[in-house]
A and B are shown apart, each in its own frame.
Chain A
Amino acid sequence: MSDTREFDLIIVGTGPAGMAAAIAARRHGLSVLALDEQAAPGGQIWRAIEANAARSKTLDADYAAGLATVHSFRSSGAEALFGASVWNVDTDGSVIWSRDGVAASANGKRVLLATGAIERAMPIAGWQLPGVLTVGAAQILLKTSGLRPKGRVWLAGQGPLLRLYAAQAIAAGGALAGVIDLQPVTTTRAAFHHLPAALSRWRDLLKGLRWKAAVRHAGVPWLAATAIAAHGDGRLSEVHITTRAGERREPADLLLLHDGVVPSVQISRALGLAHDWHAAQRCWHPRIDAAGRTSEERILIAGDGAGIAGALAAVEAGTIAGLAVAQDLGRVDAAACVDEIAGASRRRAAYVGMRPLLDALFPPLPVRPADDTIICRCEEVTAGRLREAAKLGCLGPNQLKTYSRCGMGPCQGRNCGLAVSEIIAEARGVPVEEVGYLRQRFPTKPVTLGELAAMWERK
């Protein structure tokens, strides 16, 4: 690896926030490098949007809205590398990634983390069985490969995405055996005092109701349940559903789980940035200012990776961050951006204003898995093992390493992290924020010994 290239702004992730930041920064002449692990821009929400547009498949209006952003991004002049897995970011602005088996690095005067969200893990008995996927995964399959559910397909969990995917799947001609709603009914009434703040986005509120109606209209059973379990011998074959009327066993060849999404914080945590616990969303957010700046001068964060607020809020946050970087690097006066930032902030506030209502309507499910439920999928550590460790004096997830290999596998706690913190907190009888989160380290994605060895070698 010879000279390391310099950029004004390096952006990790080309979802809504990353693309918007690139567009804004490029407008003021900054040199921009955008990196994404996927094969094309769009993040998860606008996944495969270009390919689908080419096939005239745009699913729905929200999805189609992303096309304009992607086109602007493609013509912005930002240098974009796809299939690039970022695995190290330094507070001095250097970024290392692997692409096609080769590790490379670049230096940025500023680095924007726009890594978005991941599905919150929903650890139920048997969730590790082949045939159990997340709703997000099914949505990706629909968008990238046109796959629609067929056969005995069950959805389970809670949240707007459950409804949205069910509606999309049916609209695409798919078939569902049923939707298992694990949301406690009482939350709906409690949510209403958040309604006023959300009213400016009333169209979005109505959407949720329409999706559910569409699913009902298609004759898909919508069951209220308190628990589910996946069963099968080496592969999913049955779903056991606990309802108020008793337990039901249903044959299943596909079970799709969803319990909301949470910020992807691997990089922000590995950087040692401060994170705050969000009680309603039951996850940690990195601490940022209104423009996305962090306590490290060269690092900014925008989009769902800073807190779940959706794609449109992410676009505004990305724009604001891109403009902040342009200002901080002296390429534009604050005065020249004031109106644009004010507009973006206002629109962002409207989207964010919906969150308290959504958080109240769709709180995360309680994490109370049975002792024999696997929590750490990579190392096959059960909830019982974690509770046992807490009883033996284990104070938190990092100390767990002296009791088990929980969090030490390939995903490095990405999936089990929040559940582990919740389980230990409950076992110890202390708040989750006191227990803390699994310490994240670089590399945040696996890199081979050969790739690392070859970096900085004189060719």
Chain B
Amino acid sequence: MFERPASDAAMITILVDGRPVAARDGDSVAAALLAAGLAITRTTPVGGAPRGPYCMMGACFDCLAVIDGVASRQACLTTVREGMRVERQEGARDLVATSAGP
């Protein structure tokens, strides 16, 4: 899908559904996922269909994911940090997810 030319940019590691994925410091979560060839962040609450980043600017709300335990976060508006946990949001967001906060 996408590739990143070699550079001396700082790289960090995030966890995507438990698996380590390399990300560039400053990437949005969505960019990091796409760079790793991962196009799916959630399944829809309506029909259970897989969805992922589409507009990359916060307008489509398709890139919702559970990030550091908080559900319905827009992956394209969230910047990666070392050790960040990104999980696929399955259907309607989990009620047990923690309350708002970064």
- The reply to whether the CB of A101 lies closer than 8 angstroms to some CB of chain B is yes
| Cross-chain contact A411 with B39 (CB below 8 angstroms) | no
The reply to whether B60 and A149 form a contact with Cβ atoms under 8 Å apart is: no
Residue in A131, A148, A380, A445 whose CB lies within 8 Å of B39? A131
Interface members, chain B 11-62 (any A CB < 8 Å): 24, 26-28, 31-32, 34-35, 39-40, 44, 46-47, 49-62
Contact A141 B50, beta carbon cutoff 8 Å: no
Known: A51-B26, A128-B49, A150-B3. A145 touches B31 (CB 8 A): yes
| Cβ–Cβ < 8 Å partners of B61 in chain A | 378, 409-411, 446
**A21 to chain B: closest CB distance in Å?**
21
Measured in the bound complex, the distance between the Cα atoms of B31 and A169 in whole Å is: 16
Q: List 11 A-B contacts (CB under 8 A).
A: A100-B102, A118-B59, A134-B55, A137-B53, A145-B32, A146-B7, A146-B24, A409-B61, A410-B64, A415-B55, A450-B100
Q: Do A145 and B35 touch across chains, with their CB atoms under 8 A apart? A: yes
| A interface residues (Cβ-Cβ under 8 A, vs B) | 37-39, 44, 51, 55, 83, 85, 100-101, 118-119, 128-134, 136-138, 140-141, 144-151, 153, 172-174, 234-236, 253-254, 264, 377-380, 409-411, 414-415, 445-446, 448, 450-451
Taking the closest CB of chain B, its distance from the CB of A173, in whole angstroms, is 6
- By beta carbon, the residue of chain B nearest A448 is B100
Give CA–CA (A85, B57) in the complex, Å. Answer: 12
The chain B residue sitting closest to A379, CB to CB, is: B46
User: Are A133 and B53 in contact, with the CB atoms below 8 A?
Assistant: yes
Indicate if the CB atoms of B54 and A134 lie closer than 8 Å.
Answer: yes
Chain B window 55-92, contacts with chain A (Cβ cutoff 8 Å), 1 for yes, 0 for no: 11111111010000000100001010000000000000
Complex-state Cα separation, A264 to B60, whole angstroms: 12
Tell me the complex Cα distance, A37–B57, Å. 9
B residues neighboring A (CB under 8 Å)? 1-5, 7, 9, 24, 26-28, 31-32, 34-35, 39-40, 44, 46-47, 49-62, 64, 72, 77, 79, 99-102
Residue of B nearest to A150 (CB): B3
State how many angstroms separate the Cβ of A104 from the closest Cβ of chain B: 14
Return the 4 tightest CB-CB contacts between A and B, nearest first.
A137-B56, A130-B39, A410-B61, A130-B52
Closest to B26 in A: A51
Q: Which residues of A contact B57 (CB under 8 A)?
A: 44, 118, 136-137, 140
**Contact status of A254 and B2, CB under 8 A, knowing A132-B54, A450-B99:** yes
Known contacts A39-B79, A101-B101; is-contact A411 B59 (Cβ 8 Å): yes
Q: Report the minimal beta-carbon distance from A392 to chain B, rounded to whole angstroms.
A: 21
Contact between A130 and B4, CB atoms less than 8 A apart: no
Q: How far in angstroms is the closest Cβ of chain B from A288?
A: 22
> Is A149 within 8 A of B49, CB to CB?
no
Q: Which of B9, B35, B62, B64 has the most CB of A within 10 A?
A: B62
Which residues of chain A come closer than 8 Å to B77, judged between CB atoms? Answer: 37-38, 83, 85
CB closest chain-B residue, reference A174: B3
The CA-CA distance from A149 to B37 in the complex, in Å, is 11
Q: Cβ of B26: which chain A residues have Cβ within 8 Å of it? A: 51, 144-145
> Besides the contacts A85-B77, A141-B56, A146-B7, what 16 more A-B pairs have beta carbons closer than 8 Å?
A55-B9, A100-B102, A118-B57, A130-B50, A134-B55, A136-B57, A141-B34, A145-B4, A147-B35, A149-B1, A174-B3, A235-B39, A235-B40, A410-B72, A415-B55, A448-B99
Judge whether A446 and B72 touch: CB under 8 Å: yes
Q: Which residue of A lies closest to B64 (CB)?
A: A410
B55–A136 touching, CB < 8 Å: yes
Q: Least Cβ distance of A180 to chain B in Å? A: 17
